[in-house]
């Protein structure tokens, strides 16, 4: 990636999305090999796509070209293209750039006419698409002394900021709960780029009093954002964005229900992408992505179609921590090789009582958004005692009829590793299904290479 | 009709063959895994069969597990080692809930349910610190037979403290203790204690549940078993069959279960 251009990364993504749409336009192109190999596919590409094509993970290309994956791959490409166009428009208009931590949505920032960018999204999308993932960003921040043994969730974006290939922040928003690496990284970004950091406390308890406390902190966050943006929060504008956010949330919750079907109708590689689009809830792109995923899964249920190869027995997997973004094809491999479907994880699961935001008044909307953030995956599990995380996954394993629980987590995620045995024991005892514990990073493939992940999975599934 | 089957566990150090007849072990054999394993395994199978009076054509099912399964040319089903160890340990000790296997180059701790189904496991397959090979290296360095190490350890007056869990550094440390004039019994006691301790950390990560059963060649070392018991605080049961053949018994049981499906 060339240094010094704040739109370099997003424009590279845009080319990737255009390239994906171009390739998906060839209906009879269902894999690189079937077309005669990588070089043969390269031949049909317009010149402007070729450099980008060489950067893309070849097995990702094969994954999205599979008939079962094409519809959502197209929706993903369209939606991300539109989001990038929106970002570019807002940068042209010199709107204030608000970087936010992932367990929240965009409506308030949009209503204040700011440009919301999720800090964690930039590394995640790059990790998912390119052969070298987001390693350039990770290596850059590590060369500044950031420890290599910590989770990479924020590393890449911090590196990209130093490289100057993403927009600089005007403000940073961060929920303050016990994830030390992210807390420190946001502080670092605030100091380095001279942007105010608005932290809002997540309560430790999960009750009415705690929720009221959260509503108060969100209101204080709004006051600060109003000062920074120079705009007052307009009820009508907020309602407009909240309605769009509700559309996305409604589809997301319906998709979750569909994943309870046996066989699971929703391909595993969607889970990291679902997380990416949940971070954009409030934007129309999130609504259109989740609508496409929902319709894709619903059609499959209606037709009785399966996402795993014929003759394979489905192994229904719940993931107690998270996916990895660096190999979406790995999740496709799980389905194709082992018949292993991906039900939920702590980055995708919204409890059913999350519900929609009541748009009656400004107060109901602020409360509704605060409630959604209260329920947000990982916010919900990490802000409090272990019981929420443990109970959620016992319930998930029962309701989604899981055959096993995968507990792959980053060793530096102290919260997860402190409770993962409790979680494993509870699931074994109350649901009676086996569990697998292993280490991985979510963005950096060098931590646990795909070949090693596959070896771990082969051993585990052979045991099942 | 008599149901006769075979289980093979072809490990990096030892090859184990079990012949099962009507739900009992009719015969078994353990030998070192040799060069050209494909030919050696077949010869060894014939040798084990000849001791039982059963011919190869009588074998109705065969399950195989372990590193060397790929070298077995007979018709067989390939079975997961974790599943085989669980099934085999549960078959020999039905109350088993924790299985600790220490083989030639790897060690494994498995938690199993009341039916012998593996529920979780921890592997140490990249480090030889708790493995039989480490004990063999120490035996060679001290000019002892491997089977002498356990009893000799129990006769130690003052166990040496091993600072390293690594097999490579451990061997150097043993030599340093010899040069310092320490008693051989005290040295091997230190070694077996460190191996037992290493295994216990693997088990503790899973959680110790009674009954604990130890399998594999290292289970024959009484001092390692004692150290493991001390560290995890519960009795460690050793299977009444040769502890090395538990994986092969499990392989036979897994293959037999496939017949029933």
Tens of pLDDT, residues B42-76: 889 999 999 998 999 999 999 999 988 999 888 99
pLDDT digits (tens, 9 = 90+) for B145-189: 999 999 999 999 999 988 776 767 778 888 889 888 899 999 999
List the beta bridge partners of residue A176. A201
Q: Cβ separation of A463 and B205 shorter than 8 Å?
A: no
Q: What is the DSSP letter of B217?
A: G
pLDDT digits (tens, 9 = 90+) for A18-76: 999 999 999 999 999 999 999 999 999 999 999 999 999 999 999 999 999 999 999 99
Chain B residue closest in CA terms to A436: B120
In this predicted structure, which of B90-94, B131-135, B190-194 has the lowest mean pLDDT?
Answer: B131-135
Using a CB–CB cutoff of 8 Å, tell me whether A425 touches chain B.
yes
The number of CA neighbours under 13 Å toward the Cβ of A136 is 17
Contact residues, chain B, for A462 at CB < 8 Å: 79-80, 82-83
Joined together, the tokens standing for residue A111 give 């209503």
Q: Cβ separation of B123 and A428 shorter than 8 Å?
A: no
Question: Residues A276, A279, A281, CA angle at the centre, nearest 5°?
Answer: 115
Q: Across all residues in chain A, what is the average pLDDT?
A: 95
Min Cα separation B66/chain A (Å): 12
Which of A417, A427, A463 would you mutate first to test chain B, the one with the most B CBs within 10 A? A463
DSSP reduced 3-state for B33: coil
Q: What is the pLDDT of residue A50?
A: 96
Chain A residue closest in CA terms to B112: A434
Q: Spell out the residues 6+ positions from residue A15 whose beta carbon is closer than 8 angstroms to its own.
A: A48, A49, A52
pLDDT at A111 over 80: yes
Structural domains in chain B? 1-93+243-261 (3.30.420.40), 95-238 (3.30.420.40)
Q: Cβ separation of B113 and A421 shorter than 8 Å?
A: no
Mean pLDDT confidence for B227-247: 93
Chain B residue closest in CA terms to A426: B119
Q: What is the pLDDT of residue A2?
A: 55
Q: Spell out the residues 6+ positions from residue B260 whose beta carbon is closer than 8 angstroms to its own.
A: none
Joined together, the tokens standing for residue A191 give 């100091």
Which of B120, B202, B261 would you mutate first to test chain A, the one with the most A CBs within 10 A? B120
Using a CB–CB cutoff of 8 Å, tell me whether A424 touches chain B.
yes
End-to-end CA distance of chain B: 18
Min Cα separation B84/chain A (Å): 9
In this predicted structure, which of A275-279, A412-416, B79-83 has the lowest mean pLDDT?
Answer: A412-416
Q: What is the pLDDT of residue B33?
A: 87
Greater pLDDT, B241 or A165: A165
Min Cα separation B7/chain A (Å): 17
Question: How much is the pTM?
Answer: 0.90
Q: What is the pLDDT of residue B165?
A: 67
Instruction: Write out residues 426-455 of A within 8 Å (CB-CB) of B.
Output: 428, 432-437
List the beta strands (DSSP E) in chain B: 4-10, 14-21, 24-32, 61-65, 77-78, 98-102, 107-112, 118-124, 212-215, 236-238
Which of A447, A348, A418, A450 has the alpha carbon at shortest distance from A148? A447
Give the one of B113, B118, B207 whose C-beta lies nearest to A463's C-beta: B118
For residue B115, the Cα-to-chain-centroid distance in whole angstroms is 21
Chain A residue closest in CA terms to B111: A434
């Amino acid at each position: 990636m060339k240094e010094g251009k704040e739109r370099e990364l997003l424009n590279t993504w845009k080319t990737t999305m255009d390239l994906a749409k171009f390739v998906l336009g060839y209906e009879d192109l269902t894999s690189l090999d079937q077309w005669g190999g990588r070089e043969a596919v390269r031949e049909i590409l317009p010149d402007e796509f070729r450099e980008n094509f060489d950067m893309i993970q070849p097995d990702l290309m094969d994954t999205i070209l599979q008939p079962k994956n094409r519809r959502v791959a197209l929706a993903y490409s369209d939606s991300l293209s539109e989001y990038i166009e929106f970002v570019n428009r807002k940068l042209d208009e010199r709107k204030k750039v608000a970087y936010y931590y992932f367990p929240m949505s965009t409506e308030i920032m949009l209503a204040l006419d700011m440009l919301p960018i999720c800090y964690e999204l930039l590394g995640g999308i790059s990790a998912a698409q390119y052969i070298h993932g987001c390693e350039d960003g990770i290596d850059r921040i590590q060369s500044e002394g950031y420890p290599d043994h910590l989770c990479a969730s924020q590393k890449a974006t911090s590196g990209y900021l130093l490289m100057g290939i993403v927009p600089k922040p005007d403000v940073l928003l961060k929920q303050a709960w016990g994830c030390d690496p992210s807390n420190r990284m946001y502080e670092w970004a605030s100091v380095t780029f001279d942007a105010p950091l608005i932290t809002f406390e997540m309560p430790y308890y999960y009750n009415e009093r705690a929720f009221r406390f959260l509503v108060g902190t969100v209101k204080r966050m709004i006051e600060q954002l109003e000062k920074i943006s120079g705009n007052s929060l307009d009820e009508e504008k907020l309602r407009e964005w909240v309605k769009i956010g509700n559309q996305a949330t409604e589809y997301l919750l319906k998709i979750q229900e569909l994943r309870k079907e046996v066989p699971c109708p929703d391909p595993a590689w969607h889970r990291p992408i679902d997380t990416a689009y949940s971070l954009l809830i409030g934007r129309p792109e999130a609504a259109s992505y989740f609508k496409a995923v929902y319709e894709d899964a619903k059609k499959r249920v209606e037709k009785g179609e399966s996402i795993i190869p014929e003759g394979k027995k489905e192994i229904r997997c719940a993931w107690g921590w998270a996916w990895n973004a660096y190999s979406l094809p790995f999740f496709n491999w799980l389905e194709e090789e082992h018949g292993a479907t991906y039900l939920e994880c702590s980055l995708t699961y919204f409890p059913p009582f999350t519900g929609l935001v009541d748009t009656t008044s400004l107060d109901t909307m602020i409360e509704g958004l605060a409630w959604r953030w209260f329920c947000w995956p990982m916010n919900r599990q990490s802000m409090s005692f272990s019981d929420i995380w443990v109970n959620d996954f016992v319930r998930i394993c029962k309701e989604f009829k899981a055959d096993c629980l995968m507990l792959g987590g980053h060793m530096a995620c102290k919260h997860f590793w402190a409770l993962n045995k409790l979680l494993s024991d509870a699931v074994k005892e109350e649901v009676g299904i086996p569990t697998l514990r292993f280490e991985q990073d979510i963005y950096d493939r060098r931590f646990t290479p795909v070949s090693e992940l596959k070896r771990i999975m082969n051993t585990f599934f052979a045991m099942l | 009709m008599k149901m006769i089957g075979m289980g093979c566990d072809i490990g990096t150090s030892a090859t184990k063959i079990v012949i099962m007849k009507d739900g009992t072990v009719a015969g078994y054999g353990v030998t070192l895994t040799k060069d050209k394993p494909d030919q050696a395994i077949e010869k060894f199978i014939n040798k084990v069969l000849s001791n039982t009076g059963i011919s190869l054509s009588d074998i109705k099912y065969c399950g195989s597990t372990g590193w060397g399964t790929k070298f077995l040319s007979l018709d067989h089903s390939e079975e997961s080692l974790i599943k085989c160890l669980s099934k085999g340990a549960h078959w020999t000790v039905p109350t088993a809930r924790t299985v600790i296997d220490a083989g030639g180059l790897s060690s494994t701790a498995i938690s199993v349910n009341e039916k012998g189904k593996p529920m979780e496991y921890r592997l140490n397959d990249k480090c030889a610190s708790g493995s039989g090979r480490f004990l063999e290296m120490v035996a060679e360095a001290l000019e002892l037979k491997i089977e002498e190490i356990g009893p000799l350890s129990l006769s130690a007056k003052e166990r040496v403290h091993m600072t390293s869990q690594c097999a490579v550094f451990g061997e150097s440390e043993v030599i340093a203790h010899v040069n310092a004039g320490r008693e051989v019994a005290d040295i091997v006691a230190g070694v077996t204690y460190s191996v037992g301790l290493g295994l216990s950390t693997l088990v503790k990560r899973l959680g110790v549940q009674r009954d604990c059963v130890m399998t594999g060649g290292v289970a024959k070392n009484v001092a390692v078993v004692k150290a493991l018991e001390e560290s995890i605080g519960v009795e460690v049961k050793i299977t009444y069959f040769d502890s090395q053949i538990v994986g092969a018994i499990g392989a036979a049981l897994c293959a037999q279960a496939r017949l029933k499906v």
